[in-house]
Structure 1
Amino acid sequence: MKTPERIRPLIEEGLIDEVICQLMGGKEAMVYVVRCGENVRCAKVYKEVNRRSFHHSIDYTEGRREKNSRHARAICNGTRFGRKARHDAWQSVEVDTLYRLAAIGVPVPQPYNLFEGVLLMELITGGNGGVAPRLNDLKLTAEQSRDYYCLLVRQIVRMLCIGVIHGDLSPFNVLAGSRGLVIIDLPQAINAAHNNNARSMLLRDVDNLAAYFGRFAPDLLAMDYGSEIWSLYQGGKLHPDVDLTGYIERNRKPANVSGVLRAVDIVLKKEAAWQRYKFEMGRHARRR
């Protein structure tokens, strides 16, 4: 096929010899199958800022720390350079996360190089030697669904143990490879300790998987692994081999609404008194 313009620099650098075909496209990137010497790999071409249909929501980027102070200021000011710096940081997050997850045994594609906005990485193949299908393209038995669900929940636990939440995990972002399930697409991964949306994103990842597998095994819909995992994480009791039940004890005690309202009223009165005090002090200062 015709070589995409964005991949030409990699061919010129000798990183890629040939583009075989387009594999898939998405909101953030186009993916191609490429030949690198004797190896067949995939090249993820991140779309340019003005051509993306998915914008980097503050929900994902909150808490990310930019090491370069100049870049950080530019991102904060929203300049053209800042938008490019944010875009580059979005790409590097995926590469860093892939290495971190591979190091703890989470099945992800192996990254090889990030050059000019193109991520060169392992091509995940299926049992027949062809490109691995996405989980969403499979028709599963109830038993397979239960096995796959438990396996992915275990990977979610492993990820959270090092503070990582996928943030967009679904059957579309899991491949059924010849060696098992492989998690892909991680540029929006978040740091659980620094993002106020961490809990809701974790629950959404788990719920997305439960909804899919629940189509084949309805009993999975009664499980609440997300809340259980987050509760263990908050309590400092989460570890890779933790025993999960899928259930969590709910607090059935009625809320003390009147007590809460009294506390809010006290806080409001204190704030009003403080504002009056500052006003009077300012007025006296002006009279002098």
Structure 2
Amino acid sequence: MRKQRKFDDDDFSLTDTDTFEKFLDHDPEWDENPDGPETGDRWSTWDLSSPTERGPLPHPEWVVTELAAVDTERGMLKTGKEADVFLIRREVPETGYGTLMAAKRYRDSDHRMFHRDAGYLEGRRTRDSRVNRAVAARTAFGKEAIAGQWAYAEFGALCKLWETAQSLDVTPFTPYPVQILGTEILMEFIGTPDGVAAPRLAAIRPEDANLTDLWEQLLIGLRVLARSGYAHGDLSPYNILVHEGRLVVIDLPQIVDVVANPHGRRFLTRDVHNVLTWFRSRGLSGVDETEVVQFLCDEAGIR
């Protein structure tokens, strides 16, 4: 049996020939509840999320909303410090109607390592002072609150970015957010119908891609982020996918409100520097980093 590939968000030893396939060698944990579905791992959770916990309208045609649908876990796509991502198949039994989704699940407080979240969380505060104090003190309850903040921050950002892209009449550059339930986010799976995830930008060979086109797509994405008042906060070639020529940015739990966060411009500048450094190392030229940063700051309305 082939061992599943696992990797850490911040620790990569990749070559340009690396791919990010997932392997369907995972035995799902079946639900023994007598009220559970006859096939699959659980009933669809669509009806458990409120309208505000579902993706922007109109829902894409591939989103399965039928209550008779079931979810089946197909294996792990990625493991990270704060969350793991699984491949989920949601379908209506005996109809062939279904879709693949990525399920991002934030870990409980005993298995997460929020070792560098302080800067990102500046500007994120709840109305409950007790929660804010617990978050600041990193108590067990505070860590649970942080997990919820990260999950809802990512889901909310995905929704807003999708809507902003539509309002600007540009192709969305992030996965469509299907729904959130607790600390699980279900979103569009970026990959092939048989469950092979799209490669990351870091694994793309220059001769296999149009660097100018990819940079232009990314610049549009950065503009959408800035227009929405955001910086990605941790943008790099490792959290950008390339699927059939489409560039898709992932991993947004650390997204930064560049207006509310006093370090907003610094995060935005770092995002631009990280990705532009990679593009330049692959041969892209003629892009002024300072001009790009200033353009995005103007779009975001910050100095």
The question of a shared fold, defined as TM-score above 0.5 by the shorter chain, is answered with yes
Match of 1:166 among 232, 235, 246: 232
Q: Distance in 2 between matches of 1:179 and 1:191?
A: 29
Tell me the number of residue pairs that the alignment of Structure 1 and Structure 2 aligns: 235
- Paired residue for 1:21? 75
Paired residue for 1:59, among 99, 107, 119? 119
Whichever residue aligns with residue 104 of structure 2, its letter is K
Query: What is the correspondence of 1:104-123 to structure 2 with a 5 Å cutoff?
Result: 104-105=164-165, 106-123=172-189
| Superposed displacement of residue 131, structure 1 | 2.3
- 1:2 is matched with 27
How does 1:48-197 map onto structure 2 within 5 Å? 48-105=108-165, 106-125=172-191, 130-141=196-207, 144-178=210-244, 180-197=246-263
Greater mean deviation of Cα atoms: 110-119 or 190-199 = 110-119
Deviation of the 1:207 alpha carbon: 0.9
**Whole-angstrom distance in 1 between the partners of 2:218 and 2:115:** 27
Mapping of 1:201-212 within 5 angstroms? 201-212=267-278
Q: Secondary structure in 1 aligned to 2:285?
A: helix
Q: CA RMSD in A?
A: 3.1
CA distance in 2 between partners of 1:222 and 1:179 (Å): 24
TM-score relative to the length of structure 2: 0.68
Deviation, structure 1 residue 175: 1.1
Cα distance in structure 2, aligned partners of 1:214 and 1:103: 31
Cα shift at 1:192:
0.6
Taking every aligned residue pair, what percent have the same amino acid on both sides? 29
Q: Which residue of the other structure, out of 94, 99, 115, is the alignment partner of 1:39?
A: 99
Cα gap change, 1:196/1:177 in structure 2, threshold over 3 Å: closer, same or farther? same
Q: Which residue of 2 aligns with 1:30?
A: 84
- What stretches of structure 2 of length at least 5 have no aligned partner? 1-25, 46-69, 92-97, 166-171
* Structure-2 residue corresponding to 1:248: none
**TM-score normalised per structure 1:** 0.71
Measured after TM superposition, the shift of residue 217 of structure 1 is 1.4
1:126 shift after superposition? 5.1
Measure the CA separation in 2 of the matches of 1:210 and 1:48: 35
Q: For the residues of structure 2 that align with 1:12 and 1:227, how far apart are their CA atoms?
A: 46
**Aligned in 2, Cα 1:231/1:69: closer, same or farther, shift over 3 Å?**
closer
Aligned-partner Cα distance in 1 for 2:29–2:266 = 38
Higher deviation after alignment, 78-87 or 67-76: 67-76
Q: 8 Å contact 1:17–1:36 — kept in the other structure? A: yes
Distance in 1 between residues matched to 2:202 and 2:210, nearest whole Å: 13
Distance 1:3 1:177, change over 3 A: same
Name the aligned partner's letter for residue 18 of structure 1.
Answer: T
Q: How big is each residue's C-alpha offset from its partner over 1:80-104, in whole Å with a ceiling of 9 and x where there is no partner?
A: 2222112211111000000000001
Residue 204 and residue 35 in structure 1: after superposition, are their counterparts in 2 closer, same or farther (change >3 A)? same
Q: Report if aligned partners of 2:42, 2:72 keep a CA contact under 8 Å in 1.
A: no
**Is the Cα contact below 8 Å between 1:207 and 1:226 reproduced in 2?**
no
Larger radius of gyration: 1
User: Relative contact order (C-alpha < 8 Å, sep 6+): which is higher?
Assistant: 2
SS in 2 for 1:169: coil
Task: Give the Cα separation in 2 of the matches to 1:186 and 1:115.
Answer: 17
Q: 1:177 to 1:194 in 2, by over 3 A?
A: same
